[in-house]
Structure 1
């Protein structure tokens, strides 16, 4: 059976017209599907309005406890639930999730090396509970995962949405004919980040 795992980035999330059109198209997509999203710019804006400075190193968010509270509110609440509501509007029985819900995605806190990223989770090949996620899919639910996981010991962890999408696709490929799609502002995966035309034509799994 066919499964699509689709991850959307800020170019979709930050533009309400783009987001509504994407969700309408996503809802119309036939077959099983999972949506994965982050929401970094919205989290940064709300952090700023609350007087919490967003700290980024090479584009990666440093997640201290205050930032974790904000991204939990924004990712799992504001962004996720509004997406779910829109998908329901378009007749898609979506269910909004973090990795902690149902223990679907369990991560390990990133160890401190040269940089302490704080409450950030890393995934491995045992992180995703494909069996129980497949039960949701087979019951005609459309999971909408935000960029949050947990460690199994009560701690939420901020986790890269691209990584979550890839881990879901790899794990569920053992059950379904799975296609992973990233929707982002670049033309594709680049060999040189400064050269928009340096596209990699094909990537092996």
Structure 2
């Protein structure tokens, strides 16, 4: 039995037709499945409408108190519940959660170094409540997790959705259930990791860790793709069977996307 950990983001969430098509493809996956979503583009749109300018450093969001309220409202509210409603329309029984619900994902405030990220939570393997996730899966309920976590002392924190997906995959992989493998899929609007951002067909079929390091040095990849790939390789190094990056309509296709390998 496979457990598919699927993270969707980018313009997939912002475009209603793309979101429907993505979730329909997700529902067709065989085996257990968990969905994790971000929603940064929609959060940026709502922030600007409210007169709050989004701040990003190296692909990561700076979350002050005002921004935290906006992302909680956007991720845990509007986006999460819309996704659950669409999944129900495809007869996939889903439950929308943030990290505080059922103590699903407990995080800790990121330590301040040279950059103050604000109300941002980091996670580790112990952060994930695998007992709850497995209970839901075994009762045919699909967990739909947004990127809002909690610190256990009454505070919500904004956490990178790619990181959450990676740690959920790692935590479930470490459970070592017999005849069970965990696959991690990062889905967005591109066919994979692009060689040339202006050419949508120029995606890498495969990226190993050495090539990734070289791409960072040569600035072939920048911004949000760097933390995504860092999370992907971290998952591979910690027991996750397969990791890929691409479009959701290729979730069941082993070829038309970027595969990661060590």
TM-score (norm: length of structure 1) = 0.92
Deviation at 1:91, TM superposition (A): 0.2
Change (3 A) 1:24 1:154: same
Deviation at 1:193, TM superposition (A): 8.4
Change (3 A) 1:127 1:194: farther
Q: Does the 8 Å contact 1:188/1:200 carry over to 2?
A: no
RCO (CA 8 Å, sep 6+): is it higher in 1 or 2? 1
Deviation at 1:8, TM superposition (A): 0.7
- 1:48-197 correspondence runs (5 A): 48-173=48-173, 174=175, 175=177, 176-189=180-193
SS of residue in 1 equivalent to 2:86: helix
Change (3 A) 1:61 1:35: same
Unpaired stretches in structure 1, ≥5 consecutive residues: none
Structure 1 CA distance for aligned equivalents of residues 142 and 168 of structure 2: 13
Deviation at 1:197, TM superposition (A): 5.2
Structure 1 CA distance for aligned equivalents of residues 126 and 196 of structure 2: 32
Unpaired stretches in structure 2, ≥5 consecutive residues: 209-232, 238-262
**Deviation readout 1:31-71 (Å, 9 max, x if unpaired):** 21000000001001111111112111122111001100000
Structure 1 CA distance for aligned equivalents of residues 32 and 4 of structure 2: 6
The number of residue pairs the alignment matches comes to 205
TM-score (norm: length of structure 2) = 0.73
Q: Does the 8 Å contact 2:193/2:203 carry over to 1?
A: no
Q: Does the 8 Å contact 2:11/2:41 carry over to 1?
A: no
SS of residue in 2 equivalent to 1:63: coil
Structure 2 CA distance for aligned equivalents of residues 114 and 194 of structure 1: 33
